Amino acid sequence: MRYFVPMQMKRRAVVLGGALASGLGAFPALAQAVGRPVVVASANGLAATETAIARLKAGADTLDAVVAGVNLVEDDPEDMTVGYGGLPNEEGEVELDASVMHGPTSRAGAVASLKQIKNPSKVAKLVMERTDHVLLVGEGALRFAVAHGFAKQDLLTEKARTVWLRWKETMSDKDDWGPGLADPGEAAQAAMADWIIADRLTGTINCLAVDGRGDISGVTTTSGLAFKIPGRVGDSPLIGCGLFVDNAVGAAGSTGRGEECIKINGAHTIVEGMRRGLSPTDACLEALKRVAAHYSGDRRKLAQFNLHFYALAKSGAHGAASLWGTYGSKPKRSRYAVSDGDGSRLLDSAYLFEVPGR
């Protein structure tokens, strides 16, 4: 199978090729830390990586740094895939999933189907810190959060409610929900809603960090699949799927269609790939090939979803890959966010297939 690696990663491969030539063997995932912090995130996480790298430079623990970073996105009503303002389930309720992993202590925590609490990543971190469990769900997760002082609030913004209503009103002509649009002034809103609905958002933010000592942590947080059946849990809160960290090797995470990630244990598969000597980018691509193999490489079936993987090695080397290089009803190039000693930027992800239909 052919696949595509952006130029910036090819240049990096040349640098790593030098390590190969000097006798380190395969990709040096188990090499010593490079001595400077690196943070990577999904493309909606540039501000998160900037916050996290600033915290790391000030001496923060890697998990505190990445959770502080994603809290910005959880709090942002404009990001309709995470936290406050996330798109709701089919009944109009926002249900959030999140997980954290702390490499230096090999601990993990997660919450799933959490309602009314806008920062599930903080609750996941408390599950890790203050219980001997790893995953709390639904009502139990909510009670645990409230017991720790989290305030309940309505997470459904007006914008998300508008999109949800439009989805209800247009998905079937065999029920009593309208087509809406009583007022022509609603047309612009409806158009906005229609392209969001067409993409069936599974946005999510994943953020991974390594500090100057080589300690690694990660977090993934999401409102999950838009208009999901209540109780649906995606990959984000499942350790080994939407997130995995091994302090000896590196970390990986995912965004996009969670069910496809779950079926290959995506993040764990990628970290194990790096342990075997694959570069972060190649480990992500290898995992995506497993997803493609589930559909015998049939691009018409694979065009129903996109899936993005992100990987960060202990050495600070990083990479990302997506099933589709460009995707969506308003096509967007698959990218990821990086903050390191060279500043903060969005980089093109590698990908298996270019554009659905080609």
Q: For ligand GLY, how many residues bind (rule: CB under 6 A)?
A: 13
User: Are the beta carbons of 223 and 95 closer than 8 angstroms?
Assistant: yes
For residues 226 and 203, what is the distance between their CA atoms, to the nearest angstrom? 9
> Does an H or E element contain 312, and which?
strand 307-313
For residue 70, the minimal CB distance to ligand GLY (Å) is 13
Binder among 69, 103, 120, 224 for ligand GLY (CB under 6 A): 224
Longest dimension (CA), the chain: 70
Beta partners for residue 340, in sequence order: 343
Nearer to ligand GLY, 10 or 263 (CB): 263
Site membership for ligand GLY, residue 218 (CB under 6 A): no
User: Are the beta carbons of 47 and 78 closer than 8 angstroms?
Assistant: no
Binder among 69, 120, 253, 256 for ligand GLY (CB under 6 A): 256
Can you state the percent helix, strand and coil of the chain, rounding each to 5?
35, 25, 40
Segment interacting with ligand GLY (CB under 6 A) among 30-38, 131-139, 251-259, 335-343: 251-259
Site membership for ligand GLY, residue 114 (CB under 6 A): no
Please count the other Cβ atoms lying within 10 Å of the Cβ belonging to residue 230. 14
Site membership for ligand GLY, residue 316 (CB under 6 A): no
Nearer to ligand GLY, 103 or 224 (CB): 224
Nearer to ligand GLY, 56 or 117 (CB): 117
For residues 238 and 262, what is the distance between their CA atoms, to the nearest angstrom? 8
Nearer to ligand GLY, 89 or 204 (CB): 204
Site membership for ligand GLY, residue 236 (CB under 6 A): yes
Question: What's the token pair of residue 221?
Answer: 């947080």
Is 204 a known active-site residue? yes
Binder among 234, 273, 316, 319 for ligand GLY (CB under 6 A): 234
Site membership for ligand GLY, residue 204 (CB under 6 A): yes
Using a 10 angstrom Cβ sphere, with 0-12 exposed, 13-18 middle and 19 or more buried, the burial of residue 149 is exposed
Amino acid at 306: N
Binder among 62, 221, 255, 281 for ligand GLY (CB under 6 A): 255
For residues 160 and 193, what is the distance between their CA atoms, to the nearest angstrom? 9
> Does an H or E element contain 340, and which?
strand 335-340
Site membership for ligand GLY, residue 265 (CB under 6 A): no
Catalytic one of 62, 157, 202, 204 = 204
Nearer to ligand GLY, 262 or 303 (CB): 262
List active site positions.
Answer: 204
Which residues of the shown chain bind ligand GLY in the complex (CB under 6 A)?
Answer: 202, 204, 222, 224-225, 234-236, 242, 255-258
